[in-house]
Structure 1
Amino acid sequence: MPDRYGRGERDVNPPLEIEGVPDDADSLALVVDDSDAVEPAGRIWVHWLVWNVPPETTTIPEDWEAAGAVEGENDFGGVGYGGPSPPDAEHTYRFKAYALDAVFDLEAGASADDLGAAMDGHVTAQTQLTGTYPP
């Protein structure tokens, strides 16, 4: 991933293209996390949670304002995107997109656990891409 998306740089989300969303999807969710953080941080580190993304969305531009969607709390303690900042070595970041058969009544700042519980039984399709970022 380019430096500008890192926490110590511009700290803005990278652009993403979305395609192949099932016609019956009511919303989309996006989870960005770092499973390589388990060793230094003791858990998978959440960088971005977004839900209630309109299913017709095809592009999430750089530095997206999440219009029409809701953002959750990242593990830096803020709401919205928190860029990569691996403390020990290059880490792999997972960008996971979910098509859902529901729209959720979760307030902004909800946790990854809250979103996961809401999504349980509502995922109709999912995909993932990864990017790496050095310390």
Structure 2
Amino acid sequence: MVLKISSPVFSDGEPIPPKYTCEGSNISPPLDWDTSKLSISDNGSIALICDDPDAPGGTWIHWVIFNLPPEISSLPEMVMPREELENGALQGSNSWGNIGYSGPCPPSGTHRYYFKVYALDVKLNLSSGVTKEEVLRAMEGHILDEGQLMGTYTRR
């Protein structure tokens, strides 16, 4: 089974609204996922990574968030760029070197943005500010299920 992730503001394979990009408010879009069919213990967690594989210099990281409580099945619009959220989740560094979400901002052409959600059997023993690579390494052997939502964006 593949974990389903969706957004009420764009469908898989469709354009991300400008509001969620560098040309708009540059805030994170609302996201929903369904873990009800998974057996995630209280020691488990959810992680989310958003990246752009079409960036000229290699994959560009837009968002790293992890240790979301397993009962969480959505993120609201405009998750604040804080190291730790009220629910205990931590945010890592994006490719700009900032904590939290930074939206699509392709230099040219249409780019693809993958929002990947992971259901884990553990909470990750990491600090806020870590990189995507550090989160992926820590998740090895602990992924119960995963899913992705892909949006596109072309700069105006």
Q: Report the counterpart of residue 92 of structure 2 in structure 1.
A: 72
Q: Report the counterpart of residue 28 of structure 1 in structure 2.
A: 46
Aligned pairs for 1:1-135 (under 5 A) are 1-21=16-36, 22-25=38-41, 26-37=44-55, 40=56, 42-65=57-80, 66-67=85-86, 68-135=88-155
Report the identity percentage.
Answer: 40
What is the identity, as a one-letter code, of the residue corresponding to 1:33?
Answer: D
Q: What TM-score do you get using the length of structure 2 for normalisation?
A: 0.81
In terms of fraction of residues, the more helix-rich structure is: 1
Cα distance in structure 1, aligned partners of 2:73 and 2:133: 26
Unpaired runs of 5+ residues, structure 2, are 1-15
Cα distance in structure 2, aligned partners of 1:50 and 1:34: 16
Cα distance in structure 1, aligned partners of 2:71 and 2:114: 22
1:24-45 superposed Cα distances (whole Å, 9 cap, x missing partner)? 25100000000111xx1x2111
Q: What TM-score do you get using the length of structure 1 for normalisation?
A: 0.92
Question: Aligned with 2:54: secondary structure?
Answer: helix
1:81-116 superposed Cα distances (whole Å, 9 cap, x missing partner)? 011000011111000000001101211110111111
Unpaired runs of 5+ residues, structure 1, are none
In the TM superposition, structure 1's runs of 4+ consecutive aligned residues that sit over 4 Å from their partners are: none
Question: Aligned with 1:36: secondary structure?
Answer: coil
CA RMSD, Structure 1 to Structure 2 (Å): 1.2
Using the TM superposition, give the Cα deviation of residue 8 of structure 1 relative to its aligned residue in structure 2, in angstroms: 3.2
Using the TM superposition, give the Cα deviation of residue 20 of structure 1 relative to its aligned residue in structure 2, in angstroms: 3.0
Residue 35 of structure 2 contacts residue 73 of structure 2 at CA under 8 Å; is this kept in 1? no
